[in-house]
Amino acid sequence: MVLTSARSMETSPVTAVTGKICQQKPAEVKETTEKFCPVTMNPRHTRKAFKVMNELRSQNLLCDVTIVAEDVEIAAHKVVLAACSPYFHAMFTGEMSESRAKRVRIKEVDGWTLKLLVDYVYTAEIKVTEENVQVLLPAASLLQLQDVRKTCCEFLESQLHPTNCLGIRAFADMHACTELLHQANTFAEQHFSDIVQGEEFLNLGIEQVCSLIASDKLTVLSEEKVFESVITWVNHDKDVRQEHMSHLMEHVRLPLLSRDYLVQRVEEETLVKNSSACKDYLIEAMKYHLLPGDQRTLIKSARTRQRTPVSLPKSPTESESDSSSEEESIDQSSDVELEKLLERLQNMSRVSCIANDYCLQGDPVWVEGETRPRKPVNDRKGHTRWCQCTNCIPLPTKEESICCHEVGNLRRYIIRNVKCITLEESFRDECLDEALLISHLKYHSKISKKEFLNEKAKFLRKAAYRSYESWVHGFLGPKRRIPIPACVVSLVRSTFPDPTRRRLGFYSFPDYPAEHMAYDG
């Protein structure tokens, strides 16, 4: 007989307890889960492991690669480098020869910077300073160490100052640091009055200056600061930069300047006097100031739009009240002075006009030394082989058959990669805005409401042509006749079509008053 202990037949207390614990399930675990056993995480484990690996590296133990930059050699472990850097991961796990090499040379990074980054891979520690940030960020970008790159960007953002923000902006743009670029650009806009006094601003390129002064978010107490900054920048290297005046002044909002400043400062500036395009912008500002206050709001263009800096929001109500109070404080006699200046500018603009290749009514006065021959205009009727913008239409006379690319004054628009003048971003606001055209008709014409309603499309076309010529060329009149390109005629007629589909087209006079036009519908 075999005697069996009663205790031996019972379940061991330890087994019973552990089995019961392992079979317990949290309430949210589904019944299909067989067992739930907790997982222990030790946050110090990885840190300890990397500490030991770094000690092994410092003693050159178990290292399987030597990274070389300049005359600096760094022993390391491929697996560690590959785990922390996508750059090294691709190098050591792909088919490149470096995956089997014992020595790998990195040419794009200097030795001292590479040592800092390899140390970071093993320790997760790096010190970013003013002295190393400009070499550290591009090196971190190359090795795809995104945390280091982010730290460098945050450091540069913390260092933004009026004396360095433009340099940091250029650096961020060069290395595709999107957020840093945005922050540096915003800082420059908010501290514009300070940065224009520094060396960085004077050393900017033309496109960078234009981009800055064109911003709606520029923080300036007055547009005078923008104008003066342009003059300062051009005078810094006058012989080279004065040819950019027209491009720069396109972004200066002259209509927002006071009348006194326009008369006493802008009109007297030599750089403005020497540029016909700049004088056109000044004429535009004068005309804006001569309009009644309620009509000014109908004029919508980049140069009449108030700047709205982020730090200084301004409601439309405030803008209107400020404008009206300014007008009330100005003596009405200033209108007379402004009109005299406008007439003088228009006469100057007329005298200095370069003759166009296809002038419709006599020639403008040619400037001294102008010897450009006329281009042949024959064989243009009935086709558009002469068109360069692809938007022209066949017209019945050779005088009308001209492309916008052939009109000299339009080259400042075409040169900016705009295929056709009708595609220029301001064209529709300047030439096709019906409310603005009606305002111009009220100001320049003596037509009754009944006449306007009877032939609305015809009058709007005339106003559109006049607005186009004024926008592009400034003043036109006797001895200053410049053609309207066929592409413009096409778009104006399609926007304000004649209900009868009648087209009178071009007709000629020996000369006629400025309020008349060569096109009638």
Which of 56-65, 98-107, 172-181, 333-342 has the weakest average pLDDT?
A: 333-342
Phi, psi of 210, rounded to the nearest 5 degrees: -60, -40
pLDDT at 84 over 80: yes
Nearest CA to 438 among 324, 298, 250, 241?
A: 298
Same domain, 287 and 402: no
* 425/302 Cα distance (integer angstroms): 10
Handedness of CA 229, 235, 239, 242 (dihedral sign): positive
Same domain, 149 and 237: no
Phi, psi of 261, rounded to the nearest 5 degrees: -70, -40
Q: In this predicted model, what pLDDT tens digit does every residue of 362-392 receive, in sequence order?
A: 333 333 444 433 344 456 777 888 888 888 8
**Is residue 132 in a domain?**
yes
Mean pLDDT value of segment 8-20 = 50
* CATH number, domain containing residue 68: 3.30.710.10
CA angle 408, 369, 509 (to 5 degrees): 55
C-beta of residue 465 within 8 angstroms of C-beta of residue 459:
no
* 486/391 Cα distance (integer angstroms): 8
Same domain, 404 and 463: yes
**Is residue 173 in a domain?**
no
Sheet holding 103-105, edge to edge: 72-76, 65-69, 103-105
Parent domain of 83: 47-159
Same domain, 344 and 420: no
**Is residue 453 in a domain?**
yes
Handedness of CA 147, 153, 157, 163 (dihedral sign): positive
C-beta of residue 143 within 8 angstroms of C-beta of residue 83:
no
Q: In this predicted model, what pLDDT tens digit does every residue of 296-324 receive, in sequence order?
A: 776 777 888 889 887 544 434 344 434 43
* 236/278 Cα distance (integer angstroms): 19
Same domain, 379 and 481: yes
Which of 81-95, 110-124, 366-380, 439-453 has the weakest average pLDDT?
A: 366-380
Q: For the residues of 149-210, what is the DSSP string, one character each?
A: HHHHHHHHHHT--TTTHHHHHHHHHHTT-HHHHHHHHHHHHHTHHHHTTSHHHHT--HHHHH
For residues 445-480, one letter each, b for 16 or more C-beta atoms within 10 angstroms of the residue's C-beta and e for the rest, the string is eeeeeeebeeeeebbbbbbbbbbbbbbbbbbbbeeb
Q: Which of 319, 351, 383 is the last residue of a domain?
A: 351
Assign 520 a pLDDT band (cuts: 50, 70, 90): very low
Neighbouring C-alpha atoms within 13 Å toward the C-beta of 214: 13
Same domain, 225 and 300: yes
* 216/256 Cα distance (integer angstroms): 13
Same domain, 382 and 505: yes
* 320/480 Cα distance (integer angstroms): 37
Q: In this predicted structure, what is the pLDDT of residue 504?
A: 53
Write out the two tokens for 187.
Answer: 């800082």
Task: Point out which residues pair with 72 in neighbouring strands.
Answer: 69
Q: In this predicted structure, what is the pLDDT of residue 286?
A: 85
Task: Point out which residues pair with 395 in neighbouring strands.
Answer: none
* 82/92 Cα distance (integer angstroms): 7
Same domain, 212 and 77: no
C-beta of residue 53 within 8 angstroms of C-beta of residue 122:
yes
Contacts of 201 (CB under 8 A, 6+ apart): 166, 195, 209, 229, 233
Contacts of 65 (CB under 8 A, 6+ apart): 75, 76, 77, 78, 81, 92, 101, 102, 103, 104
Higher-pLDDT residue of 347 and 98 is: 98
E-strand ranges in 216-367 read none
Same domain, 230 and 154: no
* CATH number, domain containing residue 283: 1.25.40.420
Q: In this predicted model, what pLDDT tens digit does every residue of 462-476 receive, in sequence order?
A: 888 888 877 776 655
Assign 126 a pLDDT band (cuts: 50, 70, 90): very high
* 246/281 Cα distance (integer angstroms): 9
Number of domains in the chain: 3
**Is residue 169 in a domain?**
no
Same domain, 275 and 409: no
Which of 88-97, 139-148, 434-443, 449-458 has the weakest average pLDDT?
A: 434-443
**Is residue 247 in a domain?**
yes
Same domain, 302 and 392: no
Nearest CA to 172 among 141, 214, 144?
A: 141
Average pLDDT of the chain?
77
Which of 162-171, 203-212, 444-453 has the weakest average pLDDT?
A: 444-453
Neighbouring C-alpha atoms within 13 Å toward the C-beta of 401: 18
C-beta of residue 259 within 8 angstroms of C-beta of residue 226:
no
Three-state secondary structure call for residue 462 = helix
Distance of CA 447 to the CA centre of its chain: 42
**Is residue 368 in a domain?**
no
C-beta of residue 272 within 8 angstroms of C-beta of residue 279:
yes
* 185/200 Cα distance (integer angstroms): 14
CA separation (Å) from 151 to 83, 158, 483?
20, 11, 59
Same domain, 460 and 501: yes
**Is residue 197 in a domain?**
no
Nearest CA to 230 among 215, 250, 259?
A: 250
Mean pLDDT value of segment 438-451 = 72
pLDDT at 502 over 80: no
User: pTM (2 decimals)?
Assistant: 0.57
pLDDT at 515 over 70: no
N-to-C CA span, the chain: 129
Assign 27 a pLDDT band (cuts: 50, 70, 90): low
User: At residue 507, what is the residue type?
Assistant: Y
**Is residue 4 in a domain?**
no
Write out the two tokens for 26.
Answer: 């949290």
Task: Point out which residues pair with 179 in neighbouring strands.
Answer: none
CA dihedral 101, 107, 110, 114 (to 10 degrees): -40
Assign 510 a pLDDT band (cuts: 50, 70, 90): very low
